[in-house]
Amino acid sequence: MKAVEFLIHQTESQIDKLFAAARAIPADKLDWEASSESRSVRCQLQEVATAVEQFWSMYADRKLVWSPEMTAKWLEDRKSLVELDDLEVSTRAQFAKLTEFAQALNDDDLHSIIESPMPTPWTMADILTYPLWNMAYHEGQINFIGTLLKAEAANV
């Protein structure tokens, strides 16, 4: 198995884990936030379900295009995805697009540098891992929300 194939396999598995964690949260708690500075399950899934498309320039143009206005628009636009099934469909569709793109890359492409305002240079290989580590992070956050909700219910 080549590295890109392994990454695709791992990311597809992570999508399953992420949405299993989300479905373990009671439906009436998907918008629950532990504090005013935290994010709900739904908000985190909205990010995951739209991030590949939002950052597509990193892949297609090898350049991260970003501005505060783009952030504001993205935050507003992704609110239209509400239902878990729709969020999962969007996540899988966006990853399918990225999978097709990744499979067409050659080894030299994986070493190409992505133009970015970030202080550390990123390669194509680095950004292909973005959906995987982002979903793993959010799975952990969602599982922690589940833990907090169980603690809250026990203290009622």
- What pLDDT was estimated at residue 156? 58
Answer whether residue 103 shows pLDDT above 80. Answer: yes
- Give the three-state DSSP class for 143: helix
- What pLDDT was estimated at residue 23? 97
Q: What is the DSSP string of 31-45?
A: T--SSTTS--HHHHH
Query: What number is the average pLDDT over the span 137-147?
Result: 97
Hey, what domains does the chain have and what are their CATH numbers? 6-22+39-154 (1.20.120.450)
- Other CB atoms within 10 A of residue 141 CB: 16
- What pLDDT was estimated at residue 112? 95
Work out the mean pLDDT of the chain and round it to a whole number: 94
Least Cα distance to 8 among 90, 154, 128 occurs for: 128
- What pLDDT was estimated at residue 91? 98
Note the pLDDT tens digit of each residue in 48-95. Answer: 999 999 999 999 999 998 899 999 999 999 999 999 999 999 999 999
Distances (CA, A) of 93 to 31, 86, 88, 143: 24, 10, 8, 24
Answer whether residue 20 shows pLDDT above 90. Answer: yes
- What pLDDT band is residue 2 in, cutting at 50, 70 and 90? confident
- What pLDDT was estimated at residue 43? 97
